[in-house]
Amino acid sequence: MTFTGFDSNGSVKESSSKTIDGFNFTPRETGPIFKESFVGWVKVTATQPVIIRESLENNVGCRDPNSEFSTYDLRSRLQLAPAVGTRRKFVEVRFDNTIHGNTGISIVFPSKVSNSVAKGKLVFRWIDGRTVVEKDVTIPANGQVIRYFTELLREALRFSQFALAHGSLELTFDQEVFITAIQFKPTIELLEEDLIEPLSGTF
């Protein structure tokens, strides 16, 4: 298997390879070990069919001043299937400033043509169906747009007096893109987070 990491602008950051024996289940060791951290996405190719799951974790780190090792407290984990290519998708989105809850959106445009561009439109509708805001977006080849819902559409709170938003986000593109949406919702303990996949559909 080959893992190729791209940054949000579509530039290759690093590539690494791993070998997996038949019928082995290795939940963590199969992932690439990139030398540098970056914001972006990873393309995975394999010589044989494989089953891949993505894992998103919320960890709280603690470092012992008398030791060279750090410990981590796992607060939450979300297992995701890889996104499926589509040109149109609907996602339930929520924002609640009182608990700092928001929906994260990732849109990736894998392309073998280096100068190609995916053109799309985002339309946020309130829970009662009213259109609140529309926005055009472009993504370069192998690029990624990754933001919180309210960062992508800053006018999404137009109908709210209490910094709340709830409705649907329609994403349409002229090229096939891969979309992932995750709801971040802190619990009462504040240090723990619920990570869930919002309701979504592809048409």
Q: How confident is the model at residue 30 (pLDDT cuts 50, 70, 90)?
A: very low
> Structure tokens of 93?
């989105």
pLDDT of 191 reads: 54
The total number of residues shown for the chain amounts to: 203
Which helix (H) or strand (E) segment holds residue 118: the answer is strand 117-126
Instruction: Tell me the C-alpha distance between 3 and 22, whole Å.
Output: 18
CA atoms of 128 and 120, how far apart (whole Å): 24
pLDDT tens column, 99-154: 778 999 999 999 999 899 999 999 999 999 999 999 999 999 999 999 999 999 98
Whole-number Å distance between alpha carbons of 193 and 183: 10
- Per-residue pLDDT reduced to its tens digit, 41-71: 999 888 988 888 888 877 776 666 666 666 6
Judged against a pLDDT cut of 90, whether residue 78 lies above it is answered with: no
Contacting residues for 11 by C-beta, under 8 A, at least 6 apart: 142
More confident of the two residues 160 and 92 = 92
What is the average per-residue pLDDT within 15-34?
72
How many angstroms separate the CA atoms of 113 and 29, rounded? 32
Entry pTM: 0.82
Domains delineated in the chain: 2-80 (no CATH), 85-202 (2.60.290.11)
Question: Residue 16: pLDDT above 90?
Answer: no
